[in-house]
Chain A
Amino acid sequence: MPVTHLSLRNVTRIYAGAAPGHDLHALGPIDLDLEKGEFFAVVGPSGCGKSTLLDLIAGLSLASEGTIEFEGRPIEGAVPAGIGVVFQEDACFPWLTVADNIAFGMRQAGLGAEESQRRLDHALDLMGLGDFSGAYPAQLSGGMRQRVCIARTLVLQPRLILLDEPFGALDQQTRLLMGDELLRLWRDTGATVLLITHALDEAAMLADRIVVMSARPGRVLEIVNTGWPRDRDSRIVADSAFGDITGRLWRSLRGESLKALGRTRVTE
């Protein structure tokens, strides 16, 4: 029996402009329900408000209208407990080693030394960072730095993990491998995952369900069910269903992308 973990009702975000009539309607209204433990992806054309959506869910920003509920409690501009976020930009602390970076939040949360060490070792192992625990972020590649950020999020055992285009800066092959790791983590932790990505194939490969957003102001155009088995990995890109799903996403999205680019005419 699927349990609703996160629900958005009529969520809208409007940025007030300098003059009346110059408000920026960035997002919504959006209605969305995420089930507990599912892997959910958000795709949409640039500027449709994907990152704004993430800010709202994380409590970093306040919705202009509508309600967001996480585990039955409303999110209103404050970051609730139990949510982890991996940002698009590199959020590693350059002055701390990999190990200290990952351990950062645990000290904050008042975790005991023994439990912290256990979780740290587990995370290092899980993300393949064991050999680099004493290194500084500047010595690592982009992909490894993102792994550090993911590890840092994981050790606090969040129940909902938000990722905002985490692999945007990486090359395609690294992304596919990181996708595998993300799936492994998802299964391992049993968390609900919300992934924002501009890469349709990434969404098609990783998610249980994908929401396609319209051009700004972003609204829900369509929700695609992939029906993948839980123990999938990147090799499903060979499956014929993968091509169908990706094609379906692009069919919905192409018109919106053109709109976002500024063309008004959409040729069939």
Chain B
Amino acid sequence: MTAKAWLSAINSAILIAALLVAWQLLFAVAGPQAMAPPLQTFRYLAHLLTTDAFRDHLEATARAFAFALLLALLFGLAIGFTLGMHRFASEVIEPILVSFYSIPKITLYPVILLAFGLGLPAKVAFGTIHGFVPVAIFTLVAVRNIDPVLLKTAHVLRLSRRKFVMSILIPAALPEIFTGIRIGFSLTLIGTLLGEMFGAQRGLGYLLMTAIGLQNVELIMAVILLIVLFAASVSTILIVVDHRLHRRML
């Protein structure tokens, strides 16, 4: 690892340590009725992961998330590419996508529940509508903004459309597309969990909601911890890949 990478890793380690200390302090102030401290939470989470009941919930969330992510990527890339290649269409539709991005999508949840019924399809739908938008927008922009000189080069080399897309367009647009995918990943996760927080009978989101009802502080914290660990670590990996891809851009 380079010196820079080491520094970065140490940096993150210090940050994590600081957050853990803050957590412990918050617990000292708030008391065991309101929260659980770090060590206890980690232990409880480790214990939960051995129980079948918890693993069932985990599996339910994982399945919903995987489907939602697949669909988000499929829709997002398809829409993004299609619009990116047709300037006028993208001018018409992009503002609609951007507006869709900024609305509180949770207000659409009842509509989705009514349309898909309770259970897996609704969760997946909710996750997908959260995730496909950044994928679509970033892909659209990346394809549309391809350096015109690359187009001219392709003409001069008399490349077929397919060859152009595969050997020039996609590599050139990849860094920005990947950023969209990275953001889409996170948002799909958020959407799936959010969808599980009601109208579901299994999954981590559902677990979180029942834990409130039961005032089970330990469970709440353990689930939050698991979610945060997963989201943060995958996101970090994706960011590193994102940086690598962008480094080779001019």
**Is A in direct contact with B (CB under 8 Å) within the complex?**
no
Q: Report which B residues bind A (CB closer than 8 A).
A: none
